Amino acid sequence: MKKVLVTPRSLTSASHPALDLLRGAGCQVIFSTPGKQPDEEELIGLLPGCEGYLAGVERVSAGVLEAAKGLQVISRNGTGIDNIDMNAANRLNIQVCRAEGANARGVAELTLGLILALVRSIPFSDSQLKNKRWERRKGIELENQTLGLIGCGEIGKRTALLATGMGMKVFAFRRYPDHSFSPPNFSYVSLEDLYRQSDIISLHCPSLESGKALINKEAIAKMKNGAYLVNTARASLLDLAAVLEALESGRLAGAAVDVFDQEPPTDYRLVKNSRVIATPHIGGYTSQSIDRATTQAVENIINVLHLQRTERKGRT
């Protein structure tokens, strides 16, 4: 039987019916530690002998891939693949597949939820009232506010539609704009203009190839005083020290984060800041997103392994 390793925490803590498609295709499904993101040591221990790998957001290094003798396909249950050493994957002829757009709706809705929670101080108000303290913070309404999206793929587009539906004006920066996407009150702008004009900035892009932070001291200095920042994309996009400094000074009115360098995090400075709303990587953690992403990831594995079996038979 072909072995397939499954590591996403949403699938190791509670299995999914789509995994039966793998078993039905003649695969043995094995899991990493339930509910825990596997580290390099665990992956090196589990992957050798596996032909398929249904991967989450854990780092997949060159060392892991070199140890994974027999691995033919890595299938992500999401869109991002910047956690995978693609140079090594290409060198070792390991195909990498993505579940395009599967979790886009879930992440977009969380983004809007975080924006609302920020501008209306919802977590603060709830916490105060639970502690029998009647304390209010004045908020702002989203109508006529400007939302700046850095990255405008499937998640960014869905976020834009939700935001314009609430009366917001949306600017987006994308390296290669899709001009077929042009809803009312939406336009592509330069990154400089986005920083300068946005009341709220939301990140929907992969990590930079350089590995450097996108939102650093220089970027924050270009933003409106009192802007809000939302990151549901990649933790590496934020310069932690610069964001904390801007929050303390009031340069940033607030921030919301759903992603961390290590999950669970080991550095809680951002989480504990009173101007920050933090969630434990729940953007795509909805029943619908998990269903779509798991099914697509499983089908990608089956298709790749089936094609390769056919090719081998054709050469004999």
- CB count, 10 Å around CB of 243? 25
* pLDDT reported for residue 311: 41
* pLDDT reported for residue 211: 86
Query: From the candidates 40, 66, 263, 299, which is the catalytic residue?
Result: 263
Question: Phi and psi of 42, rounded to 5°?
Answer: -65, -40
Beta strands in the chain (DSSP E): 2-6, 27-31, 50-55, 73-76, 95-97, 146-150, 169-173, 186-188, 200-203, 227-231, 252-257, 276-278
Mean pLDDT over 138-155 rounds to 97
The count of residues in the chain is 316
Question: Phi and psi of 63, rounded to 5°?
Answer: -60, -40
Active site residue 281: yes
CA distances from 191 to 12, 175, 207, 311 (A): 39, 10, 16, 46
Per-residue pLDDT tens for 200-226? 999 999 999 888 999 999 999 999 999
Across 88-92, 98-102, 246-250, least confident range: 98-102
Active site residue 234: yes
Query: From the candidates 76, 174, 234, 275, which is the catalytic residue?
Result: 234
Active site residue 204: no
Domains along the sequence of the chain with CATH: 2-102+287-315 (3.40.50.720), 104-278 (3.40.50.720)
Per-residue pLDDT tens for 176-201? 999 999 999 999 999 999 999 999 99
Partners of 210 in the β-ladder: none
- CB count, 10 Å around CB of 237? 21
Query: From the candidates 9, 174, 275, 281, which is the catalytic residue?
Result: 281
